[in-house]
């Protein structure tokens, strides 16, 4: 089964006072990536459920919510209930990741497990069927505009090979420093969902940037 190539721009570095307009500029994207930060799990704070609910009510682009928060076991299900297409929580923060993934799926969202750069995939390989996506962070979570950590590429490849061996249909997302310069390496390692914040929103034409990123990832992807 070949994984689809999907582009999910992050609005973290967009104009947060004009989210409706900013999401309108990426209407050709597959998802809009919403970074929820609580200033506990990461040293930064963005927005939470009320803002995400308003985005969901006012945009047609499916939402890919990335929770960088403590206690996702308590907070994540509400994002699924609100209508997020995909809800990602961090392995380092969840008390009961399998129970939480099942709850998210039961509420109609795709369930996704995120790993910080220093967190291995090995402890989670047997649990992959419980998830629809693994997010391999390619920067330390917390801020946009950082440089892609190439040392995460072997983990992406190990994850893709394990998914292929198991015959499953789990997507691999990369998030952080994804650009024209780095997207091919991530795709060649087996990633198929690409978060790009500054690359898309600092481009003169975000729609064109999405098309270029999609083309480079499609050419480079190795299952």
Ligand X SMILES: O=C(CO)[C@@H](O)[C@H](O)COP(=O)(O)O
Tell me, by CB under 6 A, how many residues bind ligand X: 23
CB of 199: closest distance to ligand X in angstroms? 6
Nearer to ligand X among residue 122 and residue 181 (C-beta): 181
Residue 175 engages Fe ion in binding (rule: CB under 5 A): yes
Site string for ligand X, 124-163 (x = CB under 6 A): ---------------x-xxxxxx-----------------
Q: In the range 62-81, which residues lie near Fe ion by CB under 5 A? A: 66
Given 35, 38, 64, 132, the catalytic residue: 35
Taking CB atoms, the residue at the shortest distance from ligand X is: 197
Closest CA to 116 of 137, 95, 145: 137
Question: Is 142 known as a binding-site position?
Answer: yes
For residues 117 and 129, the answer to whether their CB atoms sit within 8 Å is: no
Is position 196 an interface residue for ligand X (rule: CB under 6 A)? yes
Give the three-state DSSP class for 209: helix
Residue 59 near residue 91, CB atoms below 8 Å: no
Position 33 contacts ligand X (CB under 6 A): yes
Measure CA of the first residue to CA of the last residue in the chain; give whole Å.
9
35 is an active site residue: yes
Q: Work out the number of other CB atoms within 10 angstroms of the CB of residue 194.
A: 30
- Which of Fe ion, ligand X, none is residue 144 near (CB under 5 to 8 Å by kind)? ligand X
Query: What does the block give as tokens for 8?
Result: 């999910």
If one counts every other C-beta atom within 10 angstroms of the C-beta of residue 180, the result is 13
Q: Does 22 bind Fe ion (CB under 5 A)?
A: no
73 is catalytic: no
Work out whether 35 is an interface residue with ligand X (CB under 6 A): yes
Name the active-site residue from 30, 64, 175, 185: 175
Q: Are 197 and 12 in contact (CB under 8 A)?
A: yes
Picking from 30, 25, 7, the residue whose alpha carbon sits closest to that of residue 15 is 25
> Whole-angstrom Cα distance, residue 68 to residue 66?
6
* Contacted entry of Fe ion, ligand X, none for residue 151, CB cut-off 5 to 8 Å set by kind: none
> Which residues sit in the known binding site for substrate?
10, 66, 142-145, 175-177, 197-198
């Amino acid at each position: 089964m070949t994984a689809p190539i999907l582009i999910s721009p992050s609005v973290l570095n967009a104009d947060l006072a004009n989210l409706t307009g900013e999401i309108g500029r990426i209407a050709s994207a597959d998802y809009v990536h919403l970074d929820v930060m609580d200033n506990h799990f990461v040293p930064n704070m963005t927005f939470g459920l009320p803002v995400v609910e308003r985005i969901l009510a006012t945009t047609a682009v499916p939402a890919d919510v990335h929770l960088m928060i403590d206690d996702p076991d308590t907070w994540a299900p509400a994002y699924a209930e609100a209508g997020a297409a995909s809800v990602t929580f961090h392995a380092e923060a969840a008390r009961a990741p399998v129970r939480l993934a099942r709850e998210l799926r039961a509420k109609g969202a795709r369930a996704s497990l995120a790993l910080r750069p220093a967190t291995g995939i090995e402890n989670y390989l047997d649990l992959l069927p419980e998830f629809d996506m693994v997010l391999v962070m390619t920067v330390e979570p917390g801020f946009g505009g950082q440089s892609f950590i190439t040392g995460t590429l072997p983990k992406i490849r190990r994850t893709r090979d394990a998914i292929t061996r198991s015959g499953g249909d789990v997507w691999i997302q990369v998030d952080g420093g994804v650009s024209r310069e780095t997207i091919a390496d991530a795709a060649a390692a087996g990633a198929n969902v690409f978060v790009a914040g500054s690359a898309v929103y600092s481009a003169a034409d975000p729609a064109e940037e999405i098309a270029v990123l999609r083309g480079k990832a499609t050419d480079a992807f190795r299952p």
